Amino acid sequence: HMLIELHAAERIYRQCLEEIEAKGYSDHLDIVTTIYRHFITKTCYRNSFLYGVVRWFGPNVVLETGVHFGASSAFILSALAFNGRGKLYSIDLPNASYVMADGRIHSDPLPVGAEPGFVVPLNLRDQWKLTLGDVKDVLPHMLQQIPCVDLFFHDSAHTYEVMRFEYETISQMMFDTSVNMINPPS
């Protein structure tokens, strides 16, 4: 089923391009909204719009937190492959449970014997570095190893603490990189 959706993604993306070009969109918000509208109504995967975003913006480095079955990873990797460049870095802590803000316990168990990202087709995995572990431990080290992040996708624990940690860590890295680009070390 995932392969069928991945093959359909490029057709849907081409429809987005036709609308973007016909309406003369140049504003990023208009473009992303168009991509989202096309993908959300024509595919059964709610995060397949990532395919359109990656195809349009052509990032070299994508970082995602949270993999689970790997649907979003598969769409990102498929778009990177179609673009002919890019790498996806993913962090996942499989079978973790956490308490949400409203007190409910959220759990995303994998099927018995399955690894995170098991739906990602084998032919797309060369562009993928999956690291297993707690995002609070892995993310800072990962950001020291990659030159920059062009696109960040949060889909790990949806708690205030984790989300704040991820966004602050990514923002700091981006700020440090932009400062270094303006004032490179001598």
Q: What is the pLDDT of residue 180?
A: 45
Q: What is the pLDDT of residue 185?
A: 44
Helix (H, G, I), strand (E, B) or coil at 90: strand
Helix (H, G, I), strand (E, B) or coil at 98: strand
Q: Tens of pLDDT along 42-73?
A: 777 777 889 999 999 999 999 999 999 999 99
DSSP letters spanning 25-66: --SHHHHHHHHHHHHHHH-S-TTTHHHHHHHHH--SEEEEE-
Q: Tens of pLDDT along 4-35?
A: 888 889 989 999 999 999 999 999 999 999 99
Instruction: Name 32's Cβ contacts closer than 8 Å, sequence gap at least 6.
Output: 53
Euclidean distance between CA atoms 6 and 25, whole angstroms: 25
* pLDDT of 178 strictly over 70: no
Q: What is the pLDDT of residue 177?
A: 55
* pLDDT of 175 strictly over 60: yes
Alpha carbon 56 to chain centroid, angstroms:
14
Helix (H, G, I), strand (E, B) or coil at 140: helix
| pTM exceeds 0.85 | yes
Helix (H, G, I), strand (E, B) or coil at 175: helix
Q: Look at 124 and 5; give whichever has higher pLDDT.
A: 124
